[in-house]
Structure 1
Amino acid sequence: MISSRYPRPQALTDLWEQQWPECPPMAYLLRSHYPDRWVRFHSLPGSKRYPENEDEYGTVLERHYTVLDQLGAGPLVLVITTEWTDTEELTPQRWPRRAEVAPRAHHWRTFVEDPEDPEYRTCHQLYVEALQWTPHCVDGLLRAVADDELANVMVAPLDLRWLYHPYDGGADVVLPTREQRDELKHRYRDWLSDHPSGL
């Protein structure tokens, strides 16, 4: 388990590889690597993708916090955010929106996608911070995700036993066991997709 509010990069990498050995820390890959432990919840009624007013933003936030509280978020949670670069080297200029919603995050690691194909080579710069879990502590982050201003965001407990990936339209959750997934899925069944794939 990570015991500090400022996780050491190597310790976090070791913990990730222990808990999620089949998947790099790319949120969009989780459901394909752990399909039997994955569930997706939609953040608005009728599977509406984007909120258009404050009432709808309120619904989005309420659903996110409801599931996170059910998962047992707190007293500290890890928040992982991402930037994309053409090179593995970090530059001092951060993406403004990511820096606004995660100002205390520090660089965790670089994940290079398709490193053998220069045309499609993408460097994912992952940042992490540990936040005290309080009401509305990640409102700015979740609103930015809902507006498609950020992607590849994850919230997790310090031991990484579960992963919560909010996206523009809902959230993917990956749990330690199929049974826990099924229980959570049943509890919030009204927020599931009608599509057979669960997407």
Structure 2
Amino acid sequence: MTDDDFPPPIFLAPGASPEAQALLDRWNEQWPGMQPWRWAPRQERPDDWIRFHTLANGRQEFRHARDARTARRRVVRVVESVEQVTGLPVAILIVPDDSWHGGVRKRVRSVIPDLEPWASTAPDLDGCSDSEAAEFLADWEPPTHTFRSGPVSDDEIRSLVELVHRSDIDFLLFPDDLSWAISMYDGGVDVVMRNQDEAYRLVTWLWPWLPHRGWPSTPPWTRHPTQRELHRGVGMRYVRRRLRYRD
């Protein structure tokens, strides 16, 4: 097989609108070759990655209603802070459609009813022989990522936070020029900002929510652990476990 037989990393989805094509053109300028999954921006630009915890002690699951309120409040605060620091409001929401099923799809559509098709992504066939790749592509159905342009309200963000924790949906937020990215997982928010001065301002505003030094998979921006964290060993057990496996 030649390179022409393989789809590009990201390409326009069937039925996509001219607005979707314009978004893909901007995407290929700002994030060439990157696929629109929530982990991709931090992997693409690890030096520009900032992580904020949305639950105390780096926890990932809601234990009670107060945890849910805390996560919603922190995510909204992070998004608002990025908008204030950069002067660029959220204008693009991207959500993959391929993993939705049943009730999850209905819940997403109840929160963001006006999503439209945007782009599809190619499979990772590294290490496959030509025959294996050809066999896979013969039956392959490209995953579709949907988008919506325009403002994303605080209430919509709060609802998306719930969906991330309850159903592990994947979504990305961008300004219109795609110059920064915000994504979320259960227990945290990832921000990727190329302007280091703006990143520094954001970190000084929200530093208590940064992971402390020694936390696993630590991004470039961290804080000193508190005495309570040192006393309780919060996050340290993971570090000890990693060191033990490494030895």
User: Normalization by structure 1: what TM-score?
Assistant: 0.80
SS at match of 1:81: strand
Query: Structure 1: which 4+ aligned runs deviate by more than 4 Å?
Result: 73-76
The answer to whether the 8 A contact 1:161-1:176 is kept is: yes
Amino acid at match of 2:124: D
Q: CA deviation at 1:97?
A: 3.2
Q: How does 1:64-143 map to 2 (within 5 A)?
A: 64-72=75-83, 77-84=91-98, 95-114=105-124, 116=133, 118=136, 123-143=142-162
Within 2, Cα distance between the matches of 1:143 and 1:183? 28
SS at match of 2:95: strand
Q: CA deviation at 1:173?
A: 0.6
CA-based RMSD of the aligned residues comes to 2.7
In the alignment, is residue 169 of structure 1 matched against residue 179 of structure 2?
no
The answer to whether the 8 A contact 1:108-1:126 is kept is: yes
- Aligned partner of 1:31 in structure 2 is 42
The answer to whether the 8 A contact 1:36-1:178 is kept is: no
The answer to whether the 8 A contact 1:31-1:38 is kept is: yes
Structure 1 portions without partners, runs of 5+: 1-5, 86-93
The answer to whether the 8 A contact 1:102-1:141 is kept is: no
- Report how many aligned residue pairs link the two structures: 184
Question: Kindly tell me: are residues 100 and 133 of structure 1, through their superposed partners in 2, closer, same or farther at Cα, counting changes over 3 Å?
Answer: closer
Q: CA deviation at 1:142?
A: 1.7
Which of the pair is proportionally richer in helix? 2
User: Normalization by structure 2: what TM-score?
Assistant: 0.65
In the alignment, is residue 184 of structure 1 matched against residue 195 of structure 2?
no
Question: Kindly tell me: are residues 122 and 134 of structure 1, through their superposed partners in 2, closer, same or farther at Cα, counting changes over 3 Å?
Answer: same
Q: Determine what percentage of the aligned residue pairs are the same residue.
A: 25
Question: Kindly tell me: are residues 7 and 96 of structure 1, through their superposed partners in 2, closer, same or farther at Cα, counting changes over 3 Å?
Answer: farther
- Aligned partner of 1:43 in structure 2 is 54
Q: CA deviation at 1:137?
A: 3.1
SS at match of 2:68: helix
Within 2, Cα distance between the matches of 1:132 and 1:28? 23
Structure 2 portions without partners, runs of 5+: 1-16, 126-132, 220-247
